[in-house]
Chains A and B, each alone.
Chain A
Amino acid sequence: MKRLKKTIRQWMTEQMDLPADVMMDLPRVTLIGNFHIYIENHKGLIRFTQEELRLRLTEGELLVVGRDFVIKNILPEEILLEGVIVDIRFIKEGS
């Protein structure tokens, strides 16, 4: 059932030209230079240190690596991170 729903949504996104983040509950990541990163549609903090931010997503995790991290603001679905961003990585569930 869940898989069917996902397939339908993916089909709609492709056929009807709708933004993928809205339809499929995916994160939208906005980078400003290498010092601001703005992530919408996250599902909570997993780990936060000076060099690393790990966020839970609908599917898998998002990993941001860098230096001098500070969470400027955090809301139920949004997060604004400041610092020197070096790497952004998506980690599949289970891997």
Chain B
Amino acid sequence: MKNQWVHKMTGYVRIKIVGPYPELFINRCIDQKISVWNIKRIGKEALVCSVLLDEVKQLRKLARVSDCKVRFLERKGFPFFLQKILNRNGLIIGAAAFLCLLFLLSNMVWGVEIEGATPEMEHELRQAVTEMGIKKGAFQFRLPAPEVIQSEITDQIVDATWIGVTRKGTTYHFQVVEKEIAEKEPAEAPGHLVAKRKAIITDLFVEEGNPVVERNQVVEKGDLLVSGLIGKEGDERQVSAKGTVKGEMWFEAEMDIPLSKTLYVATGDSHRRHYFHVGNIKIPFWGWFSPEFANAKEEEYESSWEIFGVQLPFHYGYRDLLEAKKIEEEAAVEEAINIAKETGKEKLQQQFSEEAEITGEKVLHHEIKGGKVKVIIHFKIVDEIAEKQPIIQGD
């Protein structure tokens, strides 16, 4: 039995067979391997059945032989459906018109967007673009490619550094980068650069002015570093001295670090026991057997489980057992000195600019007194030492 769908694709016809003995016609069909289906008796001498469209031609001969008349009743299946559609001109014209319209409309310009431009420049750009023909309702295939538009428009608009042109579907995007005119720095009052601290000069960079100090020279506070007077002696011009002068400074810091008698340090060995908390009861469910640690520290963690902001009465948690090791008092002192160095650095750096650099540190002295370590540390620090000082007229 052939599939119904095969019949529908190839097309079939319902025929009426009229004759004194129509069963004979059916038998002949079967002998000829013509597939016949849905046979129904209507009236005394008539049968109705379905036959494939391809095999209709053979029927006429068979009908003559078996003394029957064949009449076509219905045409069914895809070929007939197609014919029916083709016969309706309106439908085809409509579909074609729709496709045409869709193609035309999707190839029109429907928007021009300008980004990053000031209102004046946007107006200027819009005018230039409209002149080129990029406006609502223009056909895209009559316009040049975005790259061409880009180069032309960049030439036209002088104030823009760069104009990026992209086409996204039916919209043209113009991305404008405007030229920025660098602002002139206001003329500074003439002045010298002087030292603000006592230091050894390590680095000297003069943009403007006349340097009067050298590298590795010791300067006191208020000493002149860069002079604002340039030119020959007697014929001097006043300028605003500019530059960076870096100097090395020394500081002594005194710090008290509390010293605990026994310091414990985690060795890295740990054991985790997992718990399931129900209310206030802890139920361990993993890691029952913890190793024996001589010194241990416990750390606990509890998660909280919530649903819609309401805390659930059960949650998960764990307890870490960290193995600890006692460290010697001597080591403890060393530790304390290290801490002192760190905190000292931090404190010192707060007093200086961000560019300040600590170049050296030295513990001068440490003393254990009443559970505390008193540490005196010598720091070397390099920072900007130049400070502006205006030239007083008539000096």
Please report A residues at the B interface, Cβ cutoff 8 Å.
44-50, 69-76, 80
B377 within 8 Å of A (CB atoms): no
Query: In the bound complex, do residue B23 and residue A74 qualify as a contact, i.e. CB atoms below 8 Å apart?
Result: no
Query: In the bound complex, do residue A70 and residue B38 qualify as a contact, i.e. CB atoms below 8 Å apart?
Result: yes
Question: Nearest Cβ distance between residue B126 and chain A, in whole angstroms?
Answer: 74
Given A45-B26, A46-B23, A48-B26, CB of A70 within 8 Å of CB of B31: no
Query: In the bound complex, do residue A74 and residue B40 qualify as a contact, i.e. CB atoms below 8 Å apart?
Result: no
* Interface members, chain B 223-269 (any A CB < 8 Å): none
Query: In the bound complex, do residue A76 and residue B33 qualify as a contact, i.e. CB atoms below 8 Å apart?
Result: yes
* Interface members, chain B 1-53 (any A CB < 8 Å): 1, 23, 26-27, 30-31, 33, 35-41, 47, 49
Query: In the bound complex, do residue A76 and residue B26 qualify as a contact, i.e. CB atoms below 8 Å apart?
Result: no
When C-beta atoms are compared, the residue in chain B nearest to A49 turns out to be B41
Query: In the bound complex, do residue A44 and residue B37 qualify as a contact, i.e. CB atoms below 8 Å apart?
Result: no
Taking CB atoms, residues of chain B closer than 8 Å to A45 are: 23, 26-27
Query: In the bound complex, do residue A44 and residue B27 qualify as a contact, i.e. CB atoms below 8 Å apart?
Result: yes
In the bound complex, how far is the Cα of B83 from the Cα of A61, in angstroms?
46
When C-beta atoms are compared, the residue in chain B nearest to A51 turns out to be B41
Give 9 nearest A-B pairs by CB, closest first. Answer: A71-B39, A45-B23, A49-B41, A44-B27, A73-B37, A73-B1, A50-B41, A70-B40, A76-B30
Q: Which single member of A49, A50, A74 contacts B26 (CB below 8 Å)?
A: A74
B250-294: CB near A (< 8 Å → 1, else 0) gives 000000000000000000000000000000000000000000000
Taking CB atoms, residues of chain A closer than 8 Å to B33 are: 76
Given A73-B1, A75-B30, A76-B30, CB of A48 within 8 Å of CB of B47: yes
Taking CB atoms, residues of chain A closer than 8 Å to B38 are: 70-72
Given A75-B30, A76-B30, A76-B33, CB of A47 within 8 Å of CB of B23: yes
Question: Nearest Cβ distance between residue B264 and chain A, in whole angstroms?
Answer: 88
In the bound complex, how far is the Cα of B213 from the Cα of A3, in angstroms?
142
When C-beta atoms are compared, the residue in chain A nearest to B2 turns out to be A73
